[in-house]
Structure 1
Amino acid sequence: MFGSQVPSVTAAEVPDGAYLLDVREQDEWDAGHAPGAHHLPMQEIPVRIEEVPADGDVIVVCRVGGRSSQVVNYLLNNGWDNVRNLTGGMKAWEAASRPMVTDDGNPARVI
C-alpha cells in the first residue's frame, strides 16, 4: 500500500555487525560510504537479489532514505524479513558522526 511504513532504524540504532547495503549510484558511493558497507545500486537489486543476505540484520541505505525504503519494500515482498531502512540515509549517518570512508583516500562526503 502506498505510504505504508517500512521497518526502519536511525543511524545511532544500527547494530554492530549489521550488513549495511548501500543502494546509491556509483558516484555517490565513491564520494563516501560507511566502512564495511556493501554496494549494490538500486537498479541492480532485481538481478542481484541473491546477494542480499536472508538472515542477520540487513540495513538498507541511500542518500536520504527514499530509494532505500523502496528497496526494503521490494525485499519484503520477495521473502526477506530481516531488512530495515536507515532513516535519513547517509545524510543522517554523516550528521550522527558515524564513520565514513572512500576507496581512493579522499575525504568522505555525502553527495
Structure 2
Amino acid sequence: MIFDALFGSKVETISSKETEEKLAKANVQILDVRTKEEYNQGHIPNSINIEVTEVENNLDKINKNNEIITVCASGMRSNRAAKKLVDLGYEKVKNMKGGMMAWKGKVE
C-alpha cells in the first residue's frame, strides 16, 4: 500500500514473444507510447500511437475491455504509461519488456 502510494501501481510485464503470440487473439490492444517520429520509423502492426505524455488525454481511444500491452523503445516510458492506466482503473494492462529493441516480430 505505501509502495503504491509513493511509486504507483506495480505493472505486470510480458515478453515480446508472448506479445507476438497474443496478437493472434482478439481483445488485445497494443499501445505504443513513443513519439510520432519513432512510431513512423516502425511499429507493431495494428498498434495505436499515443505519446506517453498524452495517454490521460486520449483514454477514449483505449478500450478498457481489451488486454492492453504498452510498448516504447526500451520499456521505460511504456512502464510509466501502464502504471498510469492501472491507477486510472484499467485492469488488464501489461508492459512489454525491452520495448521495440526486444521485438522480433513483424513491423509496419
TM-score bucket of the superposed structures, by smaller chain: 0.7 to 0.9
Post-superposition shift, 1:51? 1.5
**1:8 equivalenced with 2:18 (yes/no):** no
Post-superposition shift, 1:56? 2.1
Tell me the equivalent position of 2:32: 22
TM-score by length of 2: 0.84
- Structure 1 segments, 4+ long, off by >4 Å, are none
Post-superposition shift, 1:5? 4.0
Identical pairs, percent: 30
CA distance in 2, matches of 1:48, 1:3: 20
Post-superposition shift, 1:70? 0.5
Structure 2, unpaired ranges of 5+:
none
CA distance in 2, matches of 1:10, 1:3: 22
TM-score by length of 1: 0.82
Q: What RMSD over aligned residues (CA atoms) do the two structures have, in Å? A: 1.5
Tell me the equivalent position of 1:88: 98
Post-superposition shift, 1:52? 1.1
Count of residues paired in the alignment: 98
